[in-house]
Structure 1
Amino acid sequence: MIRQSQRFLTQLYALVDFVCIQLVFLFSWWLKFDSGLIPFDGPLPFKHYVLWSFIYGALAIAISYFINFYTPKRRKQFSFEILKIVQVHLFSLLLLLSILFIFKEVDVSRSYLLLFLVNNILVISFYRYIVKLSLKRFREKGYNKQFVLILGAGTLGRQFYNNLKMHPELGYEVVGFLDDYQEKHEVAYQNYKPIIGKIDDLEEILNRLIVDEVIIALPLDAHRKFGSIINVCEKIGVKTLIIPDFYDFLPSRPYFDNFADMPLINVRDIPLDEFRNRLLKRVFDIAFSLTAILLTLPVMVAIIIAIKLTSPGPVIFKQERVGLNRRRFMMYKFRSMKILPEGTLDTGWTIENDPRRTKVGTFIRQTSLDELPQFFNVLFGHMSVVGPRPERPYFVEQFKEEIPKYMVKHHIRPGITGLAQSNGLRGNTSIEERIKHDIFYIENWTFLFDIKIIWRTIVNGFINKNAY
């Protein structure tokens, strides 16, 4: 059931956004022209800026409505909101600059407009985060509920019910189940919400109970009922969502494509398949790796000297790894092991107290300093700063037969760190768990996700207890 309060909340969001923009205008004016912190040529008329601030606010609200920014987002992550906020204010500023150009307004400070833009993004992102956090806590206490009716009390419906119960912060409450083959749950599921009727009772139940969304969790052989179910829901004004009975084969965020005028489900939608995303990630990789090389250059020189003084052999250890699109490349590390006899194949894992390690090697492996040369791999395009860790061809051939979906990790460039590593899955840890994290990362990549992983890697430290 569509709540009347949603329109009020939308209008309230728009009003608060507009007020925030005007407050940011006042703060930015003070910071630029009154605080004395930023030098400027001379005072500019305040009333002149007030007019353009109101126009900017109106543009931002209009664009927010246009891109559906004020629609309910309880199922969306906060990174989605940040992206929308950046889009809204960038477009608003571009439109404002266009208007200023048309009206030949040359007295408006461009540096002030940039300050105004940055402050708007920061302030509105902060207040939206506080609102989202408050709503989550509010919903966890049982307020602001959305009511859900599940069609199908079989395995699919029960699993959805269990998953929903694990996320009380979303604020969803199941009112019951409808099922044609059961009148009540089996003994093992007696604590579930009850089965309150059959599928044919849907219209009567929707008219009698408060239901916001109907979840169709029926098996594939019941697809003939879907049309009548959707018609009933749309007649009443209730949203309908379908859980496909083959969802185990789908990514976490299924993508619908269109081919020959037919809708198709893309089984493995990858955000980095889009050119703009690949370009953004590549530019960031180059900038980050160059910065990292410059900052760690003294450390790398010290490691080179230490390796040369303590053991014979080359400083850099090159090892063949499997990367993007299953192409092989040579990955660089500082050598931490003794040189293997000529003709010896390296197909074993390192173990605790491994006799092959050098004294310097033990330290640089445990502190991850041996991986610093991989920033050169990033510059050469073999790797990315963030991505699934690459593995040796010998183990790739072994794992692809033993671990489901293992080869999916090769759809993107491998990384120096990744989601699995930032969560402690490094060294001698579960390959299956690492692959689950890698696939989640591949299917849910965003630029902010990369920043989060890098930050988590830094915060958690570089000491690897599982590195031998």
Structure 2
Amino acid sequence: MIRLFKHYVPHAVLMLGLVDAALLLLSAEAGWAVRAYQIGMDMPPVTDRLPQLLSFATALQVSLVAVGAYGVGSFLSLRFAAARLAVAVALGVLFLSTLYFMLPSISFWRSNLLYSMVFACVSLVSVRALLGRLLGGETFRRRVVVLGAGRRAAQIRELAMQPGANFIAAGFVAMGEPTQAVPDAVPRGAITNLGAYVTDLRASEVVLALEERRNALPLGDLLRVRTAGVQVCEISTFLERETGRIDLASVSPSWLIFSDGFASGRMISSVVKRAFDIVASLLLLVLTLPLMLLAALAIKLESKGPALYRQRRVGLYNQAFDILKLRSMRVDAEVAGKAQWAAKDDPRVTRVGRFIRKVRIDELPQTWTVLKGEMSFVGPRPERPHFVNELEQQLPYYAERHMVKPGITGWAQINYPYGASVEDARHKLEYDLYYAKNYSPFLDLLILLQTLRVVLWPSGAR
């Protein structure tokens, strides 16, 4: 993987993105050339239409990211890829139409845009048909050797077997664990030279997955492997990179303390983030006010009670604040005000409430909370005080998620379906810790774009 602005991007995804960018530029130029040929116009130098070409390519590339066109499914299924590409191109053209209306000096002719869109659709689908299996196959996967044969090593094996895995578990070395969870692991005593063994397996990385590290680190083995030119990685770092989350089962306080991340020098990023929150929340409040009024009217017509309600949540540095939401449940949803987890097909949710939850309309009033500065657009989802007290007792490092400002959308929300249990909270915490550790404006932008995918293809909304 390649690390861009603290976030890990698979080589195959980066390569496909670069190929797409080139194809989109070529599609824009081809559309222009076809129309010029039809009307008998001489082709001016390409520099004269560079703004048009770049605007077309950028808009469609952003749309591809937003609809999840670089997800695992795009490498494994041409049908899945084609469906996402069609939506991305349609969204890109809608965005371009708006952009060209506001900036006519960089606009394509409508006929140029049509031809370019057709060329883009054909070329993007074709490249996935030709390269999809190759990019998603073993060619671009790293080969790793795992030192360990216990529960943690078995976890790596399971991860390697998942569709779209970015690595191949080339071998496992049993390091004398009392309980062996990988039956075909080779005993360390049967390997004369570990460096040569790793080289023979063509491995580029060794992952340390011991169950007990105190006084058990095979320093001689690790030194031999490292001097052979092979990278050595601790399991917590390996899982963070491969899964986009911090695995609570393997992480230790010392790893969190000494690993990179949680940078304090975020003054410029924080200023940019706050400025974006103010501008975007003001704009969103103005644009969505009619939609919120319609939703509020529908709520009032269906059930008695207020259309809006306030709910206490825990935010930055454990400070409590109130959020505003459009009411999606009956007014008697919580007896005596006692907090309850939402359940699948929750009977307390009204018909209007079910719809506005699916498309996230119920979250729109929270833009006022963002404008006030108590929340951001991107960050861990703020939880209710009752649940926070409960989860801090049951989940390690839960309090650390409150070291960043909570958000309407976040890394956990786009990677894990709606959770309504302690186990769900555990999985979401792993993503929240990854965000807190690796925060950057780039990751914020990626989350904001990918939120569109969650809205278009909702998963687990309750």
**TM-score > 0.5, shorter chain as reference:** yes
Query: 1:453 is matched with which residue: 448, 451, 459?
Result: 451
Partner of 2:213: 220
Residue 311 of structure 1 and its aligned partner are, at CA, apart by: 4.7
Aligned length: 363
1:291 is aligned to 284
Describe the shift of the 1:209–1:328 C-alpha distance in structure 2 as closer, same or farther (beyond 3 A): closer
Measured in 2, the distance between the counterparts of 1:146 and 1:330 equals 47
Provide the C-alpha distance between the structure 1 equivalents of 2:25 and 2:322, rounded to a whole number of angstroms: 55
Name the SS of the counterpart of 2:350 in structure 1. helix
* Deviation digits for residues 15-40 of structure 1 (CA, Å, limit 9, x no counterpart): 9899859845742652786677xxxx
Does residue 425 in structure 1 map to residue 418 in structure 2? yes
Report what 2:337 is aligned to: 346
SS of the residue aligned with 1:396?
A: helix
Question: Please, which runs of 5 or more residues in structure 2 have no aligned partner?
Answer: 1-11, 54-69, 73-104, 248-255, 436-442
Corresponding position of 2:375? 383
> Which of the two has higher C-alpha Rg?
1
Q: How many angstroms apart in 2 are the aligned matches of 1:131 and 1:274?
A: 45
Aligned match of 1:91: none
Shift of 1:201: 2.0
State the Cα distance separating 1:203 from its structure 2 match. 3.9
How far is the alpha carbon of 1:277 from its aligned partner? 6.8
Q: Which residue does 1:322 correspond to in 2?
A: 314
Question: How far off is 1:210 after superposition?
Answer: 3.9
CA deviation after TM superposition for structure 1 residue 266, in Å: 3.6
Asked if residue 362 in structure 1 is aligned to residue 355 in structure 2, the reply is: no
Inter-partner Cα distance in structure 1 for 2:142 and 2:341: 52
Aligned mates of 1:317, 1:337 — CA distance in 2: 11
In structure 2, the CA distance between the partners of 1:127 and 1:187, relative to structure 1 (3 Å rule), is same
Residues 306, 284 of structure 1: alpha-carbon distance in 2 compared, 3 angstrom cutoff = closer
Counterpart secondary structure, 1:332? strand
Aligned to 2:145: 149
Counterparts of 2:236 and 2:43, CA distance in 1: 64
Query: Partner residue of 2:77?
Result: none
The range that moved more, 398-407 or 151-160, is 151-160
The alignment partner of 2:447 has SS state of helix
Residue 232 of structure 2: aligned partner: 241
1:170 deviates by 2.8
**Residues in 2 aligned to 1:438 and 1:351: alpha-carbon distance in whole angstroms:** 18
* Matching residue of 2:132: 133
Q: Secondary structure at the match of 2:145?
A: strand
Q: Given the alignment, which residue of 266, 272, 277 partners 1:279? A: 272
8 Å CA contact retained: 1:146, 1:172: yes
Deviation at 1:334, TM superposition (A): 4.2
Partner of 1:27: 30
Map of 2:186 onto structure 1: 194
Question: Counterpart amino acid of 2:272?
Answer: L
- Counterpart of 2:353, as a letter, is R
Q: Larger relative contact order (C-alpha < 8 A, sep ≥ 6)?
A: 2
Using the TM superposition, give the Cα deviation of residue 440 of structure 1 relative to its aligned residue in structure 2, in angstroms. 0.6
Give yes or no for contact 1:386–1:454 (8 Å, CA) kept in 2: no
Equivalent pair of 1:322/1:390 in contact (CA under 8 Å): yes
- Contact 1:149–1:213 under 8 Å retained in 2: yes
- Note closer, same or farther for the CA distance 1:282–1:411 as it changes in structure 2 (3 Å cut): farther
What letter matches 1:133 in structure 2? G
Partner of 1:65: none
Cα displacement string for residues 51-100 of structure 1 (whole angstroms, at most 9, x for unaligned residues): 999xx9xxxxxxxxxxxxxxxxxxx989xxxxxxxxxxxxxxxxxxxxxx
Aligned match for 2:431, one of 427, 436, 440: 440
Give the Cα–Cα distance (whole angstroms) in 2 for the partners of residues 151 and 166 of structure 1.
Answer: 20
Amino acid at match of 1:447: L
Query: Aligned residue for 1:396?
Result: 388
Ranges in structure 1 where 5+ consecutive residues have no aligned partner: 1-8, 37-41, 57-75, 79-108, 255-262
Q: Among all aligned residue pairs of Structure 1 and Structure 2, give the percentage whose two residues are the same amino acid.
A: 20
Is contact 1:386–1:453 with CA below 8 Å preserved after alignment?
no
Contact 2:303 2:330 in 1 (8 A): no
1:223-256 Cα distance to aligned partner (Å, 9 max, x none):
7743x4455335544x2222258999999469xx
Q: CA deviation at 1:433?
A: 0.8
- 1:56-205 counterparts in 2 under 5 A? 133-139=132-138, 146-166=142-162, 169-177=165-173, 179=175, 181=176, 189-190=182-183, 192-195=184-187, 197=189, 201-205=193-197
Q: Is the 8 A contact 1:149 1:175 kept in 2?
A: yes
RMSD of Structure 2 on Structure 1 (CA): 5.6
| Aligned match of 2:57 | none
Q: Contact between 1:292 and 1:375, CA under 8 Å: does it hold in 2?
A: yes
What is the CA–CA distance in structure 1 between the aligned matches of 2:342 and 2:174, rounded to whole Å?
A: 55
